[in-house]
Amino acid sequence: MWSYLHNEFLDHNPHVGGAAVAGVALLAAGAAYGVMIPKVKAARAKGGVSDEVFVPSSRLGLSNIFDLSGSLVQSMAKDIIGRHYVDFIPILVFIFMWTLLNNVLGMVPGLVSSTDNLNTTMAMGLSVFLYYNLMGFKHNGLRYLEHFTGHLKGVLLLLLGPIMFVIELVSHSVRPLTLGIRLRSNIYADHTVYEIVANLFSALGAFLSTKLGIIGSIIGGMLSALGPVPIVILGLLVSFIQAFVFMLLTTIYIGMATAHDEH
């Protein structure tokens, strides 16, 4: 797709284009939400909109997907982070939707998942790493450093504190690596399997077309179109699970960093 733009950078770095598409889509969705919600609230205040408008439809649609995603993130954050979870709902919803959208984009013909590239996933992991540590200092001040010493006191702090600090520092430093590598590896593997299966069915279709003529072309076309469908369904499931896992680990890290007076 990006070759049509005759841009050498995008041609060699399609993941940047994929991230741009995902970013524009999320910005458009956010802008639409920002425009519509005040109007709905104003109309509701005047009595022009009933409460039934806010009841989710029984049919699966885009609004239901966003509703379910928000409810999923909220329930996870409430259970893991605690009573101050509300402050982190926006960033967690964004992380989940951003990761899911980028995962799924690779299944659209002509587009590439930015999460299929290690540069993107490592940047995401590093961003999470910086964010939860900043939130740790914001919520606990310098007491946040106690997380790196196992909350030891007195003599134990002097004896074991330095060792615990090194261990915890290594543990925290590995987190962005594990976040980035795990996400990229799973998405790359999923797309590789899909590509292999699609090529196999395409080759089978070409073979049948050569051997059986028109009938073979029809059968081969049906196989090429329907054969990869189970892999596509599996890919959607993998995309959702990986977005959920990335959001879940982020939530756990935030919860651990911002915990206070609950040790």
Q: Do the beta carbons of residue 242 and residue 256 sit within 8 Å?
A: no
Per the structure, the complete domain to which residue 150 belongs is given by 61-258
One-letter amino acid for residue 179 of the chain: L
Q: Does the residue 3 lie in any domain? A: no
Q: Does the residue 176 lie in any domain? A: yes
Q: Does the residue 195 lie in any domain? A: yes
Task: For residue 52, give every residue at least 6 positions away whose Cβ sits within 8 Å of its Cβ, in sequence order, or none.
Answer: none
Identify the helix (H) or strand (E) that includes residue 237: helix 229-258
**% of the chain beyond a pLDDT of 70:** 77
Quote the distance between the C-alpha of residue 75 and its chain's center.
Answer: 17
Q: Does the residue 114 lie in any domain? A: yes
pLDDT, one tens digit per residue, over 177-194 is 999 999 999 888 888 888
Q: Does the residue 28 lie in any domain? A: no
Predicted local confidence at residue 252, as pLDDT: 93
pLDDT, one tens digit per residue, over 57-73 is 566 555 666 677 778 88
Q: Do the beta carbons of residue 201 and residue 227 sit within 8 Å?
A: yes
pLDDT, one tens digit per residue, over 133-168 is 999 999 888 888 888 887 777 777 777 778 888 888
Q: Does the residue 142 lie in any domain? A: yes
Q: Does the residue 36 lie in any domain? A: no
pLDDT, one tens digit per residue, over 22-58 is 777 777 776 776 676 666 566 656 655 555 555 555 6
Q: Can you count the helices (H) and strands (E) in the chain?
A: 7, 0
Q: What is the pTM of this model?
A: 0.79
Q: Do the beta carbons of residue 103 and residue 113 sit within 8 Å?
A: yes
Q: Does the residue 197 lie in any domain? A: yes
Distance CA 151, CA 140 (A): 13
Number of domains in the chain: 1
Predicted local confidence at residue 92, as pLDDT: 92
